[in-house]
Amino acid sequence: MAEAVAEEAKAVQGIEVEPSYYVEPETIGSFDAIIVGTPTYHHDTTVDIKRLFEEAASQNVALKGKIAAAFGSYGWSGEAPKLVLEIMKNRFEMQTSEPPLLIRYTPDQAGLEKCRDFGKRIAERLIHAT
Ligand SMILES: Cc1cc2nc3c(=O)[nH]c(=O)nc-3n(C[C@H](O)[C@H](O)[C@H](O)COP(=O)(O)O)c2cc1C
């Protein structure tokens, strides 16, 4: 999913994408937009994602006004991307792009196309915001 999101985002002129499996909290302040991919386990996001934002908050990493989006694979309830968007909106005052993109289990071709469209939409929003 992340690769498909990144693929079309970086196809937008003027956009650079840095896909990362793991990021240090202090580095996320250097991006203009943050797109988080998170699966839903036990109605929640992952410990790593929570820790990332907890540590960013404790280090006062400034994310205010930056564009935020979230996507994820899920099975039956799919809360995680919405929870992450709430953190980015309420705790960091980021401009969230709603709704999050949810794909049930593994994306098929149509699901991957939704991921590409999602990446393109966020990238275009960023271009128009700058
Ligand atoms: C232990 C476990 C707990 C899960 N809990 C949820 C859940 O609460 N809600 C949901 O929508 N899906 C749940 N799922 C399904 C996963 O979100 C789904 O399998 C998803 O595709 C996993 O993505 P990943 O392969 O990228 O980790 C759970 C799966 C497992 C194995």
How do strand 33-37 and strand 95-96 relate by DSSP bridges? unpaired
CA-nearest residue for atom 2, ligand 1, is 41
Q: Could you tell me if the CB of 91 is within 6 A of ligand 1? A: no
For residue 100, give every residue at least 6 positions away whose Cβ sits within 8 Å of its Cβ, in sequence order, or none.
69, 70, 71, 72, 81, 82, 84, 85
Ligand 1 centroid to 103 CA: how many Å? 11
Specify the pTM: 0.97
Q: Determine if ligand 1 sits within 6 Å of the CB of residue 39.
A: yes
CA distance 16 to 98: 22
Cβ of residue 74 lying under 6 Å from some atom of ligand 1:
yes
Report the separation in Å between the CA atom of 82 and the middle of ligand 1, taken as the mean of its atom positions: 15
* CB 41 less than 6 A from any atom of ligand 1: yes
pLDDT, tens digit only, all 130 positions of the chain: 999 999 999 999 999 999 999 999 999 999 999 999 999 999 999 999 999 999 999 999 999 999 999 999 999 999 999 999 999 999 999 999 999 999 999 999 999 999 999 999 999 999 998 7
